Structure 1
Amino acid sequence: MIKLFKQYYRVISYLFFGVLTTVINIGVFAALQLLTAWNYQVETVIAWFLSVLFAYITNKLWVFSSHTTGLKAFFTEMSSFFFFRLLSLVMELVIMWIGVSLLKQNAIVVKVVDNVVVIVANYVFSKVFIFRKR
C-alpha cells in the first residue's frame, strides 16, 4: 500500500488538493450567488482567482515539490502557473456561458460540471509546462 502511495503520490496529492481547490472555487461562487446580485461571470472570476491562489501554493509545495531559487525563478514559475490557469479560466467562462446563458441551467450545477473539465486540463498544464523537472 505504501509503495503504491509513493508511486502515485503526485496524482493522489493533485487530486486531493484539486478537490480542495474545487471546494473553494464552488464555495466562493455559491456564496457570491447567494449574497450578491452580481453577474455569474464576475462571480466566476472572483472564485477562480481565490482558488488559483490556493492551487498555486499547494501545487508548488506538496504536489510537484517545486523548489525555485531566487525571485526571478519564482516569478517565472508563478507567471507560468497563472498564465495556464487563465487558459482554463477562459474554458470555464465558455462552459458557464453555454450552460447558464444558452442552455438556461442552474449556475451552481454548471459550475460543478465545468470544474471536472478544468481539473483535468490544469493537471496536464502543471505536469507538462509549469512544474516540469528542469
Structure 2
Amino acid sequence: MKDIYIKYKELINYIIFGVATTAVNYIVYAVFTIVLPLNYQVANLIAWFLSVLFAYITNKYYVFNSRSWDISRIFKELISFFAARVFSLGVEAVILYVGITLMSGNSLIVKLIDNVIIVIINYIFSKLFIFKQK
C-alpha cells in the first residue's frame, strides 16, 4: 500500500485535497443558497473565492510540493492559480446556468456534477502550468 501511495502520491493528494476543496465550495454554496437565500451565481462566486484560497495553499504545499516561499515565486503562483481558476469559474458559471436555469435542474445536484468537471480541469492547469517542476 505504501509503495502505491509513493508512486501516485501527487494524484492521491490532489484527489484528497480536491475533495476537501470541493467540500468547502459545496458547503459554502449550500449555506448561501439555502440558509441565506442568495442568487446561485452570487453564492457560487463567494464559494469559489474561499475554495480557491484553500486550494492554493493545499495544492502548493501538499500536492505539488512547491516549497518556495520567495515572494516573487508565491506572487507568480498565486496569479497563475487564480487566473486558471477564473477560467474554470467561467466554465462553472456556464454549467450552472445551463443545468439550473435552462434545464431546471436541482441546484445542489447540478453543483455536484459541476464540481467533478471543475476538479479535472483544475488539476490539468495546476500540473501543466502553475506548479510545474523545473
Shorter-chain TM-score range: over 0.9
For the residue of structure 2 that corresponds to 1:105, the secondary structure is coil
The aligned counterpart of 1:45 is: 45
The aligned counterpart of 1:97 is: 97
Q: Which stretch has the larger CA shift, 33-42 or 79-88?
A: 33-42
Structure 1 segments of 4 or more deviating over 3 A?
none
The aligned counterpart of 1:23 is: 23
Q: Which amino acid aligns with 1:66?
A: S
Counterparts of 2:97 and 2:2 in 1: how far apart (Å)? 43
Aligned residues: 134
The aligned counterpart of 2:73 is: 73
Q: Which amino acid aligns with 1:36?
A: L
Counterparts of 2:64 and 2:103 in 1: how far apart (Å)? 38
Q: Does 1:126 align with 2:131?
A: no
Q: Deviations over 1:33-82 (max 9, x none)?
A: 11223210000000011111100000001000102242111101110001
**1:2 CA drift (Å):** 1.1
In structure 2, runs of 5+ residues without a counterpart are none
TM-score when normalising by structure 1: 0.97
The aligned counterpart of 1:109 is: 109
For the residue of structure 2 that corresponds to 1:16, the secondary structure is helix
For the residue of structure 2 that corresponds to 1:57, the secondary structure is helix
Counterparts of 1:29 and 1:74 in 2: how far apart (Å)? 28
In structure 1, runs of 5+ residues without a counterpart are none
